Structure 1
Amino acid sequence: MQHILFLCSRNRLRSPTAEAIFAGRPGVETASAGLAPDAETPLDADMLAWANLIVVMERQHRNKLTQRFAGAIQGKRIVCLDIPDRYDYMQPELVSLLEKKCAPLLAR
């Protein structure tokens, strides 16, 4: 089973969209969280332990993740999608971008 954790800043738009659209895929379990203190679901070490793939939306998210959770992400695969924070939840353009950029990750 592939456990994919999607991360963005506040866990309100991009990462929850990714979690929702990939949740029903066979062999895939998804979760999402945010790196900001006011995130809907703040990231914690248990989430990182659960994940075998961590997908961040921007490089700044990878940097924050590395700074705050260096020990917890040792040996974890981290992928940056380079999707800026300019989309609404489930916006068709965001869904399309996520599907395109995540397809190679889900094929494993």
Structure 2
Amino acid sequence: MNVLFICSRNQWRSPTVEQVFRRYPSLSVLSAGTSRNAKKRVSAELLQWADVVCVMEEKHKNRLLAQYGRLIAFKPLHVLDIADDYLFMDPELIAIFNHVVPEKLGLTTQETASR
């Protein structure tokens, strides 16, 4: 499964979740940002690559729908509801991702344990 994680600047949240979930054998993961100042900006190519899109906040979902609505109309799009309150690889942020993301992606406990 190809999963694209999106935040604003692709600086802290989305690169952290990309790092955490790249160890899952059943996943290919990338991250991007919605801001023009993002380290890696979301693009039509990235969205076409993704089977599933996960955004940190509702505002990211709204930006994607406004800009790429037709492209993502039939893709699963999950809002993780994670505020921009953490630095890259913050242990608390990692714990939140480990709690929230497997359920959103339908990962089994066996997959979670085998990473």
Fold shared by both chains (TM-score > 0.5): yes
Instruction: Indicate the percent of aligned positions where both proteins have the same amino acid.
Output: 36
Structure 1 residue identity aligned to 2:60: H
Provide runs of 4+ in structure 1 moved above 6 Å: none
What letter corresponds to residue 24 of structure 1 in structure 2?
A: R
**Distance in 2 separating the partners of 1:88 and 1:50:** 27
TM-score by length of 1: 0.96
TM-aligned CA deviation for residue 71 of structure 1: 1.5
With structure 2 as the length reference, what TM-score do the two structures score?
A: 0.90
Aligned length: 107
Partner of 2:44: 45
Greater CA radius of gyration, 1 or 2? 2
The residue number in structure 2 matching 1:57 is 56
Instruction: Note the 1:24-103 alignment, pairs <5 A.
Output: 24-103=23-102
Task: Please identify, of 97-106 and 23-32, the stretch whose mean Cα deviation from structure 2 is larger.
Answer: 97-106
5+ residue gaps, structure 1: none
Letter in 1 for 2:64: L
Partner of 1:107: 107
Q: Report the 3-state secondary structure (helix = DSSP H, G, I; strand = E; otherwise coil) of the residue aligned with 2:61.
A: helix
User: For 2:91 and 2:23, how far apart are their aligned partners in 1?
Assistant: 18
> What is the RMSD computed on CA atoms of the aligned residues?
0.9
Cα distance in 2 for partners of 1:57, 1:27 equals 22
Cα distance, 1:106 vs structure 2: 4.5
Unaligned runs of at least 5 residues, structure 2: 109-115
